[in-house]
Amino acid sequence: MTEETLQQTVTKSLIEPHGGSLVDRTGERPEDLDSLETVTLTSREVSDLDMLASGALSPLEGFMGKEDYERVVEEMHLANGLPWALPVCLAVEKAPEGDRVVLADEDGRPLALLDVEEVYEYDKEREAENCFRTSDDAHPGVARLYAQQPLYLAGRVTVFDRPAPAYPELALDPADTRRIFAERGWKRVVGFQTRNPIHRAHEYLTKVALETVDGLLIHPLVGETKSDDVPAAARVECYRVLVDGYYPHDHVLVSAFPAAMRYAGPREAVWHAICRKNYGCSHFIVGRDHAGVGDYYGTYDAQLIFDEFEPHELGIEPMFFEHAFFCRACGSMATPKSCPHGGDDHVFLSGTKVRELLAEGQLPPVEFSRPEVAEVLIEAYRS
Ligand SMILES: [Zn+2]
């Protein structure tokens, strides 16, 4: 296939990026950076910057201005009316002198230029209440928000040095996943967000979803997470052994989602869906308590929030799932929607119980976890 016909196939077959076209904010490193003021980004802001560069946050071309910010916080829409669920902002201590600044990571490495459009004040408590549904600073997302600098700096970015991906073999930009989907002839693709090892329950959800579409994108988040989440390196190995052993390779792609977790629950579910639309997904799996933390969100809040948008307004279609389990009476994986039996027939292990077993070097039941996955986790606990 020539490049041109391939391009036509892409536009004809796959879902359009959010806002209509994929943003590319990569560019050449300018000659003279030394004369410019430098703004140091947190690791979360570096993740956002890289996603701006790749178009994962299309149609955003930079950190949000006040008009977009206000409307996102209040109404989950950008100023132009497109749905958008979470602020993508750069917090600074003071307004820069010049109209152009260098953005650097915490080690001082220059990554990008930002053309200053606006510097504005924001209300942390209101952002917390609206975006996280709580102003409790025990919530990790709220704590991070409260610790931020007091002003937002807005403007388009041009990224000339992208952070080296932690997992190069899994590093695919939206343009890459779209090309691969097109090459494989997939039109309808379901995206699966995860920040955990995949056990039988989630394997089941992804396969049920896959039955109705052409392809499955397993898209684990590898950006910053809470310290008590399973480390990304162990998770990546879990995905590899699981997919090698139990998924058909011509219908599944595993790639890393470079975002940092915000733990914003329902709003983050919408944000995750919109990002996956940019990667070429037409559908997105939303389970129970998606992107939640602690007891801050109701079990189904991350599903119910999608009703706040007009039908098809998001473009990408959410697929809602119940908690899944192996039922001995059914003799199969099931959910409360598809199994009439009681809890005694269900193989259920709490997260605490699973961690105990793994830490002791014991395999959980095969109805709960594939042994290959459990072995990887046991090894991770050992080291
Ligand atoms: Zn049953």
Dist. CA 326 → ligand 1 center (Å): 8
Is 328 a catalytic site residue? no
The alpha carbon of 7 and the centre of ligand 1 are apart by a number of angstroms equal to 47
Give the model confidence (pLDDT) of 337-380 as tens digits. 999 999 999 998 988 899 999 999 999 999 999 999 999 999 99
Interatomic CA distance for residues 322 and 337, integer angstroms: 7
200 Cα–ligand 1 center, Å: 15
Cα separation values, 317 from 92, 145, 208, 262, 282, Å? 36, 30, 15, 22, 6
- Quote the ligand 1 centre to 112 CA distance (angstroms): 54
What pLDDT does 136 receive?
A: 96
| Per-residue model confidence (pLDDT) at position 104 | 97
How many A from CA of 28 to the centre of ligand 1?
A: 59
Instruction: Find the 332 Cα to ligand 1 centroid distance in Å.
Output: 8
Angstrom distance (rounded) from CA 52 to CA 67: 18
Q: Which residues contact 50 (CB under 8 A, 6 or more apart)?
A: 159, 162, 163, 258
| End-to-end CA gap in the chain | 47
Which residue, among 247, 239, 195, has the nearest Cα to 216 in the 3D structure?
247
**How many angstroms does the Cα of residue 117 sit away from the middle of ligand 1?**
58
Q: What is the pLDDT of residues 269-318, one digit of tens each?
A: 999 999 999 999 999 999 988 878 888 999 999 999 999 999 999 999 99
Residue 366: both structure tokens together: 């095969």
Q: Which of 133, 179, 195, 200 is catalytic?
A: 195
List residues bridging with 254 in a β-sheet.
218
- Cα 367 to averaged position of ligand 1 atoms, centre (Å): 13
User: Residues in the chain with pLDDT < 50?
Assistant: 1, 8-11
196 is catalytic: yes
Q: Pick from 132, 140, 118, 55: which is nearest to 87 by CA?
A: 132
Ligand 1 center to residue 330 CA distance, Å? Answer: 4
Q: How far is the CA of 169 from the centre of ligand 1 (A)?
A: 39
Q: For the purposes of burial, counting CB atoms within 10 Å of the CB of 166, is it exposed (0-12), middle (13-18) or buried (19 or more)?
A: middle
Cβ–Cβ < 8 Å for 162, 53 = yes
- Going through 95-211 in order, the beta strands assigned E by DSSP cover 100-104, 110-121, 151-159, 189-194
Q: Is the dihedral of CA 302, 48, 166, 93 positive or negative?
A: negative
Catalytic choice (100, 196, 240, 288): 196
pLDDT for 10 = 47
